Amino acid sequence: GKDNEFSLYYVEVEENFEGGKEKQATRDGKRRRVRNSEVSRRASENRTTEAGIKRAEKKHDKRHKTARKEGEKHGRKQRRKNADAEEAEEESRKEKKNIKNERTKTLKLEDEKEKDVKKKRKKHANEEDDAKHGKTKHKDCQGMPLKEKKKQKQISESESKSESESQSDSDSESKDNPAGGVLGSLTPEELEKLKEAVDERKKLIATLRGKPWPMRKKLVSLRESQEFVEKYEGALGKGKGRKLYAYKVMMMKKWMKFQRDFENFKTACIPWEMKIKEIESHFGSSVASYFIFLRWMYGINMILFGLTFGLVMVPEALMGKPYGSLPRKTVPRVEEASAMNFAVLWDFGGYAKYSVLFYGYYNSQRAIGWLKFRMPLSYFLVGVGTVAYSYMVVIRTMARNANEEGGGDDTSFNFSWKTFTSWDYLIGNPETADNKFASITTSFKETIVEEQESRKDDNIHLTRFLRVLANFLVLCCLAGSGYLIYFVVRRSQKFALEGLEKYGWWERNEVNMVMSLLGMFCPMLFDVISTLENYHPRIALQWQLGRIFALFLGNLYTFIIALMDAIQLKRAEEEIVKKNMTIWQANLYNGTMPDNSTAPPITAHPADVPRGPCWETMVGQEFVRLIISDTMTTYITLLIGDFFRAVLVRFLNNCWCWDLEFGFPSYSEFDVSGNVLGLIFNQGMIWMGAFYAPCLPALNLLRLHVSMYLQCWAVMCCNVPQERVFKASGSNNFYMAMLLVILFLSTLPAIYTIVTIPPSFDCGPFSGKNRMFDVIQETLETDFPAWFGKVFSYASNPGLVLPFLLLLVLAIYYLQSTSKTYKRVNMELKKKLQTQNEENKKKNKLAALKAANELEQQRSNSASDLGESTLNGVNEESSSLDEAGHHRQAGQNGHFIHPSQSQHTQNSGPPVTATHTTTRTPASRGHTSSGHLPGHPHQPQKNSHSNKR
Amino acid sequence: MVSPAIALALLPLLLTLIIRYRYFFVLLYRAVLIRWVRDCLSGLSREERAFQYILTHATPGDSQSILDTFDQWCSKVEFISNIGPKKGKILDRLLQEHCPITVLELGTHCGYSTVRIARSLPIGARIYSVEMDERNAAVAEKIIRLAGFDEDMVELIVRPSDEVIPRLREDFGVECLDFVFMDHWKRCYLPDLHLLEDSGLLGEGSIILADNVIFPGAPNFLRHARRCGLYEVRVHRATLEYIRGIRDGMAELTFLGIK
């Protein structure tokens, strides 16, 4: 009903419009077109595209459509036969249907061949039509096309569109029409044709990418072909099979849709994917690479956390002895009063210290609970396992990334690279795009200047000098900061010896403060210094990373050395405590039970028992504190440096005498290098300290989680995109390499302490043992059958281990050398390809040059000829040549060329025309004055032509 | 008490700030400190000193020589925020491209930009130059006359710009402004632009060129120009006059006409 109404309305408009049309027959086409668009854009489209069709064809088409319509609605057909008015309406419906179909049809797609097929089909339809319905229909139909044809004629005059295009349009349109209705009325032949058409569309969709069309045309034709295929594909097939086929197609579509949705769902399941993508679109991939790295780190920490939490902390909390049962699990009497104070807890003292969070709480009982859980063994294996797992993951990721990197650097096509690859397609923000645009432009300018300079004279000395100077300055900074930390640590040791109570907060936290401040501000200084060097930002980022790496490493190792000193102090203290312990025990026994030594020993409350300093817990505490203070510094910097700055800049800008947003303070940029290194070093500290403080992975997980949200928010809210946005394609592996180095460097001290320093005598899972790794031996002896221990002892025999290691080294060496060979071969192949390409290019150039020379010669000849002959004669000649050229061109390029425009043949005299076609294309590459690109109008020709005259 | 070590740790921050914003310190030194000292020593205003220098060093009647001398004074001796030679070239190019007949200049200051505009105008063109400060205007007039431009060419109006613009049509018989150059108070850019829009003096294709839109900057002006849809905006990026390291730009607004 709704559709009918609409069509009626449409027809009315149409008819009015046509009436007007006929009156205006003499007017020019442009006016008409304007009017068309006023009435209905669709209608005008319809008409213009039908422009070139012949009258008879049109008639057939119409009739055929009617036939289809009638096949579609039999009842209506009967009625329609009777009344003229109804017939008119039907006519209009046809018209409307026509328009409707054309909406879906493709523009300018098919060519002559298809047209032939179409004609055949139309004929066939015609016959069918005649057979089915009376001739009256024909007459009715003829009224409309006549009108239409007139219009078409007028329009085709006004339109300078190519004939072939419009023909193809009409073809596709007429092809669409039969398929639009119910296929019941179609004969197998028609179906076949339809199938062909669908196949052709499919082919078109597949090959569309390679077609030399403008993008708009491509898009339009793609959309329309897709619609066409979608519409008619399901309807194909025969009889019963058709339904099944349609069903199949429908299911296939559903399945595809489901797959797409599922893909979307999967993307949505990747944590923070949308956030990161958004950031990437605003800030370019270098900033996004940091967040991807953060997410990756989060994943790793998740597993570390799972291991320590599931295998160490939870079993101890559930199955181990409860709090207060042992001296190591109780807060000593001296600290009891302040053990619950927030300041103490915040410092991880008091109750926090005597809990599962730290090494000292764990008991050395071999098996705990009803599960007989081997706690010390589990503790040791988890400590080793986390590190081993980290190594594995880092190395695997590195190897995978290394595969992606293409070997070899190409410096030969500098400008081509810049032209074709400098855009970051992930940018989705106009401001960033603006920045990127500006940066590309400036980089182009710089490169051009560089190229010019490098051709003139090598001014590399200045750059080298500046780079050396920058490195020298950075080294100075590093040395200065190293000395400062050393100084502070020494001072803090002095404070510690004298007793910390005498000093204030500043003195106590001096080391942390200095380290954080240096870690925060030295990178800024490096950044400023690095502007001297004038590197590409990606390389500059790597340098910056390297420098900050050195700085942080220095800080970290100073910290570790200080810690080692502290461990030595604690161990000396422990010796004293051990001695005192025996005295205390003796006193205990003497005081309470002077005579009777056989009675059950009266035990003191565990809080009163004197205990050793437990250096392991101290180390763990230090790391936890460091992590906490580091996190706090990061967040506070974020809040003050980014957020408050942004707020100030934003709101003070309204009442300030210069532009704060673009000028002096401005908004901050996201500091990729600093953040990445902060993350890496943080992870290093986790690896180092996790053995002594099982809570560290949990804390780190929390920190990463919070910083993910906080930094995402801060970046989007208060940072601006970098001035030189660049792609971070190669930096991921650089991060990984640094992570690996840090992993190695951080496991070194941990392994050193585990292997060389004996564990404390009264705390931790390894208390009472000579070394921590003795737990393995113990397990082998007691928990495994005797033969296993024997086998193990044989296997660990140096006579076996050393050859095995040798074999391993040899295998690694072999694999590495083979991979190197492959790489080299690859490089050579690449080079070969390049040289081949260059040779080809040279050859082509030579050929083009030769051809151009020839042409030039001939032209000069013809010019002298022209001078002799009369102007008239030349014109005659040229006009005749014109036509020939025109035909040739239309055939070749499928473009309509107006006679007045195709003048290329006029330039050359009669004898040249034969060679002209062959020389034209190559000549156009090198020389602007002769020849033209196939698809373009011929400005240069025009010029030369006019010059000649 | 903060320990000396912590204070030392803050040294990198200080160094960073100094190095990063060195151009701003230079600007502060040249534009404020030197000016203040010279004002105290000579008793003349900065503009008058500039005029004296030009009078003694430039060739009268030769606008190029006057401009060169001005540039020399501003880069070597003291600092005055003229448009400068580099941005001046952009201005020259625009003027040559459009050949305006009626030019409005807001903010004459010392007349540097007036001379610059006047010399590249076609014959019969007229500049209305607006300056609020009387002392500056006196200096500017002297310099303009020195460069050889008479009153037919340059009309100096000593009044605030927001008073002048609405009355341009009545008082000065201006029908249409082909070119407007803004270089007065950055805060007045936006209100004056509104006034210009309301006055109806802008025709299709009229150019409004605003200097210093990035430093010291006129963010509201730029925002309005970009958003209101009346203009086609281009920002020519350059550096601040006579100081290399500070980025600045000129906004070129082409009036598209009210639809």
Which residue in B209, B207, B216, B208 sits closest to B248, CA to CA?
Answer: B216
| Residue in this structure with the two tokens 């213009």, named with its chain if needed | A48
The answer to whether the Cβ–Cβ distance between B218 and A659 falls below 8 Å is yes
Q: Which residues of B touch A663 (CB under 8 A)?
A: 214-217
Residue A378: per-residue pLDDT? 92
Q: Which of B47, B131, B178, B183 is the catalytic position?
A: B183
Q: Please give the ipTM for the structure prediction.
A: 0.74
A233 and A181 Cβ atoms separated by less than 8 Å: no
Among B5, B21, B216, select the one facing A659 at the smallest CB separation: B216
Report the range out of A490-494, A822-826, B222-226 with the highest average pLDDT.
Answer: A822-826
The answer to whether the Cβ–Cβ distance between A662 and B215 falls below 8 Å is yes
Residue B41: per-residue pLDDT? 92
The answer to whether the Cβ–Cβ distance between B12 and A525 falls below 8 Å is yes
Q: Which of B131, B141, B178, B211 is the catalytic position?
A: B211
Helix (H, G, I), strand (E, B) or coil at B181: strand
Radius of gyration of chain B (CA): 20
Strand partners, B231: B255
The conformational region for residue B129 under phi > 0 = left, psi -120 to 50 = alpha, else beta, is: beta
Active site residue B136: no
Which residue in A730, A734, A697, A301 sits closest to A549, CA to CA?
Answer: A734
Per residue in A759-793, pLDDT tens?
A: 988 888 888 888 888 888 888 888 888 888 888 88
Is 60 exceeded by the pLDDT of residue A384?
yes
The answer to whether the Cβ–Cβ distance between A506 and B3 falls below 8 Å is yes
Rounded Cα gap, residues A579 and A587, in angstroms:
13
Among A513, A517, A524, select the one facing B16 at the smallest CB separation: A524
Active site residue B212: yes
A567-587 average pLDDT score: 85
Active site residue B142: no
Q: Please give the distance of CA A253 from its chain centroid, rounded to a whole number.
A: 28
- The tokens of B209 are what? 């060129």
- Split at pLDDT 50, 70, 90, the class of A626 is confident
| Alpha carbon of B12: minimum distance to chain A alpha carbons (Å) | 6
A339-362 average pLDDT score: 86
- The tokens of A242 are what? 């058709």
Among B6, B24, B214, select the one facing A517 at the smallest CB separation: B6
Is 60 exceeded by the pLDDT of residue B46?
yes
Helix (H, G, I), strand (E, B) or coil at B103: strand
Q: What separation in angstroms does the CA of A941 have from each of A2, A610, A875?
A: 58, 104, 16
- Split at pLDDT 50, 70, 90, the class of A540 is confident
Which residue in B86, B176, B188 sits closest to B132, CA to CA?
Answer: B188
- The tokens of B135 are what? 């002392």
The answer to whether the Cβ–Cβ distance between A662 and B219 falls below 8 Å is yes
Q: What percent of chain A has pLDDT over 70?
A: 64
- The tokens of A256 are what? 């595809």
Mean per-residue pLDDT of chain A: 72
Among A514, A525, A653, select the one facing B15 at the smallest CB separation: A525
Q: Which of B71, B87, B212, B252 is the catalytic position?
A: B212
Residue A124: per-residue pLDDT? 53
Among B9, B186, B214, select the one facing A514 at the smallest CB separation: B9
Q: Which strands make up the sheet holding B231-239, listed edge to edge?
A: B154-158, B126-131, B102-106, B177-182, B202-210, B247-255, B231-239
B136 and B109 Cβ atoms separated by less than 8 Å: yes
Q: For residue A41, give the H/E element and its range.
A: helix A41-49
Residue A111: per-residue pLDDT? 45
Residue B105: per-residue pLDDT? 92
Closest-approach residue (CA) in chain B for A506: B2
- The tokens of A207 are what? 């090959």
Helix (H, G, I), strand (E, B) or coil at B58: coil
- Which of B6, B25, B28, B226 to probe by mutation at the A interface, max A CB count within 10 Å? B6
Is 80 exceeded by the pLDDT of residue A18?
no
Q: Which residues of B touch A505 (CB under 8 A)?
A: none
A882 and A903 Cβ atoms separated by less than 8 Å: yes
Among A506, A528, A658, select the one facing B1 at the smallest CB separation: A506
Q: Which residues of B touch A662 (CB under 8 A)?
A: 214-215, 217, 219, 247
Among B3, B15, B20, select the one facing A510 at the smallest CB separation: B3
A347 and A322 Cβ atoms separated by less than 8 Å: no
Q: Which residues of B touch A484 (CB under 8 A)?
A: 5, 8-9
Per residue in A150-195, pLDDT tens?
A: 444 444 444 444 444 444 444 444 444 444 444 555 677 877 888 8
Rounded Cα gap, residues A930 and A922, in angstroms:
10
Is 60 exceeded by the pLDDT of residue B24?
yes
Residue B110: per-residue pLDDT? 87
Q: Which residues of B touch A522 (CB under 8 A)?
A: 12
A404-419 average pLDDT score: 64
Rounded Cα gap, residues A678 and A116, in angstroms:
72
- Split at pLDDT 50, 70, 90, the class of A818 is very high
| Residue in this structure with the two tokens 């200084």, named with its chain if needed | A525
Helix (H, G, I), strand (E, B) or coil at A72: helix
Is 70 exceeded by the pLDDT of residue A33?
no
Give A605: exposed, middle or buried? Use CB within 10 Å, 0-12, 13-18, 19+: exposed
The conformational region for residue B148 under phi > 0 = left, psi -120 to 50 = alpha, else beta, is: left
Report the range out of A18-22, A382-386, A430-434, A511-515 with the highest average pLDDT.
Answer: A382-386
Helix (H, G, I), strand (E, B) or coil at A629: helix
HSE-CB at A536 with a 13 A cutoff on CA atoms is 12
Residue A94: per-residue pLDDT? 53
Q: What percent of chain A has pLDDT over 90?
A: 15
Residue A440: per-residue pLDDT? 77
| Alpha carbon of A343: minimum distance to chain B alpha carbons (Å) | 21
Give A493: exposed, middle or buried? Use CB within 10 Å, 0-12, 13-18, 19+: middle
Single pTM value for the model: 0.64
Among B3, B12, B214, select the one facing A524 at the smallest CB separation: B12
- The tokens of A331 are what? 């807060």
Strand partners, B126: B102
Radius of gyration of chain A (CA): 43
Which stretches of A499-614 are DSSP H helices?
Answer: 505-508, 510-530, 537-592
Least confident of A178-182, A417-421, A592-596, B246-250: A178-182
Residue A330: per-residue pLDDT? 86
Dihedral angle computed from the Cα positions of residues A287, A290, A291 and A294, in that order, rounded to the nearest 10 degrees:
-170
Nearest 5°: phi and psi at B54? -65, -40
- Strand ranges for A346-413 from DSSP E: none
| Alpha carbon of B25: minimum distance to chain A alpha carbons (Å) | 11
A195-206 average pLDDT score: 83
Fill in the amino acid letter for A199: D
Q: Read off the DSSP letter of residue A773.
A: T
The conformational region for residue B228 under phi > 0 = left, psi -120 to 50 = alpha, else beta, is: alpha
A36-40 average pLDDT score: 44
Rounded Cα gap, residues A404 and A731, in angstroms:
12
Helix (H, G, I), strand (E, B) or coil at B203: strand
Per residue in A910-940, pLDDT tens?
A: 443 333 433 343 433 334 333 344 444 444 4
A806-819 average pLDDT score: 95
A537-559 average pLDDT score: 83
Among A510, A528, A653, select the one facing B5 at the smallest CB separation: A510
Of A208 and A116, the structure prediction assigns the larger pLDDT to: A208
A620 and A693 Cβ atoms separated by less than 8 Å: yes
A873 Cβ contact list (under 8 Å, min separation 6): none
The answer to whether the Cβ–Cβ distance between B1 and A664 falls below 8 Å is no
Report the range out of A27-31, A79-83, A90-94, B154-158 with the highest average pLDDT.
Answer: B154-158
Rounded Cα gap, residues A537 and A544, in angstroms:
10
A770 and A776 Cβ atoms separated by less than 8 Å: no
Tell me the residues of B at the A interface, defined by beta carbons under 8 Å apart.
1-3, 5-6, 8-10, 12-13, 15-16, 19-21, 24, 186, 214-219, 237, 247
Per residue in A246-302, pLDDT tens?
A: 788 889 989 999 999 998 888 888 889 888 888 877 787 788 889 999 999 999 999
- The tokens of A314 are what? 């939870």
A439 Cβ contact list (under 8 Å, min separation 6): A723, A724, A725, A726
Rounded Cα gap, residues A352 and A342, in angstroms:
11
Rounded Cα gap, residues A646 and B216, in angstroms:
18
- Split at pLDDT 50, 70, 90, the class of A880 is very low
A613-617 average pLDDT score: 88
The answer to whether the Cβ–Cβ distance between B5 and A506 falls below 8 Å is no
Fill in the amino acid letter for A144: M
| Alpha carbon of A483: minimum distance to chain B alpha carbons (Å) | 11
Rounded Cα gap, residues A385 and A919, in angstroms:
73
Strand partners, B156: B129
| Alpha carbon of A506: minimum distance to chain B alpha carbons (Å) | 6
Q: Which residues of A touch B21 (CB under 8 A)?
A: 664
Is residue B216 reached through a cis peptide bond, with omega within 30 degrees of 0 on the bond before it?
A: yes
Which residue in B135, B128, B134, B218 sits closest to B165, CA to CA?
Answer: B128
Give B215: exposed, middle or buried? Use CB within 10 Å, 0-12, 13-18, 19+: buried
Rounded Cα gap, residues A510 and A261, in angstroms:
56
Q: Read off the DSSP letter of residue A532.
A: T
Q: Which residues of A touch B2 (CB under 8 A)?
A: 506
Which residue in A369, A371, A351, A373 sits closest to A361, CA to CA?
Answer: A351
B216 Cβ contact list (under 8 Å, min separation 6): A657, A658, A659, A663, B186
Tell me the residues of A at the B interface, defined by beta carbons under 8 Å apart.
438, 477, 481, 484, 487-488, 491, 504, 506-507, 510, 513-514, 517-518, 520-522, 524-525, 527-529, 653, 657-659, 661-664
A452-461 average pLDDT score: 65
The answer to whether the Cβ–Cβ distance between A528 and B16 falls below 8 Å is yes
Strand partners, B255: B231
Helix (H, G, I), strand (E, B) or coil at B133: coil
Q: Which residues of A touch B12 (CB under 8 A)?
A: 477, 481, 518, 521-522, 524-525
Closest-approach residue (CA) in chain B for A527: B16
- Which of A439, A445, A495, A524 to probe by mutation at the B interface, max B CB count within 10 Å? A524
Q: Which residues of A touch B9 (CB under 8 A)?
A: 481, 484, 513-514, 517-518, 521
